[in-house]
């Protein structure tokens, strides 16, 4: 099947280096300490953060740091075929672990000892790149909750089909059987914190694809920063003196 036409257009009309439409909204779940909705094309994810609050399970309390917990769940209607089990399956457990480790690396946990931070991510629509969308949404929700972080974390995926590196794969491109590289970076520190790939790829092409994904992450970082800055300014001028 042809994923990139001879004119250089992908199945949904994008150019190979073009990312899908991004949209972020802060403060959707009123009861949570911080929450956000993040959309990358048709992939739509809600993240909610509760905390820092008292540790519920005393045995898990860490004396000098905050305990970070994360749960990833997909809605029944999120994928094309209805899912039987929205949580508890292996993929969800793995993604929960990945998100937790990524966010834990950037939260300054030693500033909130003996407390607990819960990050809940709910996928409303899945069209490829759910892992990345979840991490981006979680970053927004943590910033909304006022939790101190070393740097924001942004994530994007890239692949290689029809001899072209493609940025931000959607579901059809992802299921094509080509490689899928997901990268998460700390933009200010310029460090990679998450790197996952499946299928196989020659090393020099891998460098290209990874570089493309990092470029995508930086673009998302700019967008997230704009959104957060706008939100902060709005809260400040509403509040007045």
Q: Least separation, in Å, of the C-beta of 139 and other proteins?
A: 9
Report the C-alpha gap between 155 and 8 in whole angstroms: 25
| Binders in 194-223 for other proteins, by CB under 8 A | none
Distances (CA, A) of 125 to 47, 163, 188: 13, 29, 30
Report yes or no: 178 and 161 within 8 Å, Cβ to Cβ. Answer: yes
Tell whether residue 32 is a contact of other proteins (CB under 8 A).
yes
Out of 18, 113, 206, 208, the only residue in the binding site for other proteins (CB under 8 A) is 113
Out of 159, 165, 187, 216, the only residue in the binding site for other proteins (CB under 8 A) is 187
Q: Which is nearer to other proteins, 17 or 83 (CB)?
A: 83
Distant-in-sequence, close-in-space partners of 131: CB < 8 Å, separation ≥ 6: 95, 98, 99, 155, 157, 182, 196
CA within 13 Å, CB half, 98: 23
Tell whether residue 108 is a contact of other proteins (CB under 8 A).
yes
Out of 2, 30, 57, 204, the only residue in the binding site for other proteins (CB under 8 A) is 30
Report the C-alpha gap between 92 and 114 in whole angstroms: 27
Tell whether residue 182 is a contact of other proteins (CB under 8 A).
no
Report yes or no: 121 and 137 within 8 Å, Cβ to Cβ. Answer: yes
By CB under 8 A, name the binding residues for other proteins: 27-35, 42, 44, 46-48, 50-54, 56, 63, 66, 71, 73, 75-78, 80, 82, 86-88, 108, 112-115, 118, 120, 122, 124-125, 127, 143-152, 187-189, 225, 228-229, 231-240
């Amino acid at each position: 099947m042809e994923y990139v036409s001879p004119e250089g257009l992908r199945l949904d009309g994008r150019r190979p280096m073009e990312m899908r439409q991004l949209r972020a909204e802060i403060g959707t779940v009123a009861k949570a300490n911080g929450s956000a909705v993040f959309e990358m094309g048709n992939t739509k994810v809600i993240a909610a953060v509760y905390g820092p609050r008292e540790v519920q399970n005393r045995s898990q309390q860490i004396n000098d740091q905050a305990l970070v917990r994360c749960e990833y769940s997909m809605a029944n209607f999120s994928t094309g075929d209805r899912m039987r089990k929205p949580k508890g399956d292996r993929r969800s457990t793995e993604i929960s672990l990945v998100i937790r480790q990524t966010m834990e690396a950037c939260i300054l946990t030693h500033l909130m000892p003996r407390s607990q931070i819960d990050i809940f991510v709910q996928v409303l629509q899945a069209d490829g790149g759910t892992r990345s969308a979840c991490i981006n949404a979680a970053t927004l929700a943590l910033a909304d909750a006022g939790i101190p972080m070393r740097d924001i974390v942004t994530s994007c995926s890239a692949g290689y089909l029809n001899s072209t590196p493609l940025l931000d794969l959607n579901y059809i491109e992802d299921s094509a059987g080509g490689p899928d590289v997901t990268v998460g970076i700390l933009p200010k520190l310029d460090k990679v914190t998450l790197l996952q790939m499946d299928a196989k790829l020659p090393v020099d092409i891998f460098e290209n694809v990874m570089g493309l994904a990092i470029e995508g992450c930086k673009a998302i970082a700019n967008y997230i920063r704009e959104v957060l800055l706008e939100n902060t300014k709005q809260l400040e001028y509403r509040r007045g003196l």
